[in-house]
Structure 1
Amino acid sequence: MTNKTELENLFLRKKPVRLLMSLKMGHGKYVSVLAKETDCTYSHIVKLLNMFKRLGLVEFEKAGRVKFISLTDRGKELADAAEALLRKFSK
């Protein structure tokens, strides 16, 4: 295990951070795509997204049968902060 990975595991939970970064990189993704990108089960992503929504980090937009998920302004701020922290781990 690399020093970076040890620090990430020590200070951050991997799956929620991966989800946050995946949402930051794209606009209006849906749950199954996020599950693939973050290497999580569909049900785990739904659980995390519901938690994110409760915290005001994401918003859902329904288009037909599909729900698109995007970060709120607060979610973008948190994603930027998490990304900056991850960059520090890389040094």
Structure 2
Amino acid sequence: MDLEKLFLHEKAVNILVKIYEYEMSGKDAYPLCISREVHSPYSYISKVLGIFEKAAIIESKFEGRIRRIKLTEDGRELARQFLQIKNLLNRDFLARKKLRILESTLKDLNDNDPTQLLPIKAELENIKTQDNDVIKKVEELKKKVEEMLNGYP
């Protein structure tokens, strides 16, 4: 199987990232543990690991009946890149867009009219997300709006 096609499958990426996470936490990676973590049959994990090994992405070593898996340098770099992509894809793009619009609107406001701040404050309250960057910026913007509202007579 072509590596490019393999990595278009979510499970293959999850397997590689899981091995990387094991290594980063100082734990050994084993096919059975990976199988449980990514919710895939052991036979599929074994097949993918075989492809990874042929492509020099991982190395495996048998200790008795136990197969220990380790990423190669190239495998580690590949896993880092996929983890970075996964983190990018986990962003809340809609909330980020709303936030940019609100920031722009706030910037363009007429300083003499505090009533224009109230809809912005309400919209900020309505942004619900798990994206930590957005949460932080929303809190900063709320604080700025409150300061502006408190500055009006």
Structure 1 length normalisation: TM-score? 0.82
Question: In structure 2, what is the equivalent of residue 85 of structure 1?
Answer: 85
How far apart in 2 are the matches of 1:64 and 1:44? 22
Question: In structure 2, what is the equivalent of residue 55 of structure 1?
Answer: 55
Quote the RMSD (CA, aligned, Å): 1.4
Which residues of 2 match residues 8-87 of structure 1 at below 5 A?
12-27=8-23, 28-87=28-87
Q: Look up the equivalent residue of 1:76 and give its one-letter code.
A: R
Counterpart of 1:67 in 2: which secondary structure?
A: strand
Q: 1:34: Cα distance to partner?
A: 0.9
How far apart in 1 are the matches of 2:86 and 2:30? 25
Which segment is superposed worse, 11-20 or 75-84?
11-20
Bigger relative contact order, structure 1 or 2 (CA pairs below 8 A, ≥6 apart): 1
How far apart in 1 are the matches of 2:43 and 2:35? 9
Question: In structure 2, what is the equivalent of residue 7 of structure 1?
Answer: none
Q: 1:12: Cα distance to partner?
A: 3.6
5+ long unaligned stretches in structure 1: 1-10
Counterpart of 1:68 in 2: which secondary structure?
A: strand
Counterpart of 1:62 in 2: which secondary structure?
A: strand
How far apart in 2 are the matches of 1:35 and 1:65? 17
How far apart in 1 are the matches of 2:30 and 2:13? 17
Between structure 1 and structure 2, the one with the greater Rg is 2
5+ long unaligned stretches in structure 2: 1-6, 92-153
How far apart in 2 are the matches of 1:55 and 1:78? 12
Q: Answer 1 or 2: which has greater strand percent.
A: 1
Q: 1:64: Cα distance to partner?
A: 1.6
Moved segments of 4+, more than 4 Å? none
Structure 2 length normalisation: TM-score? 0.50
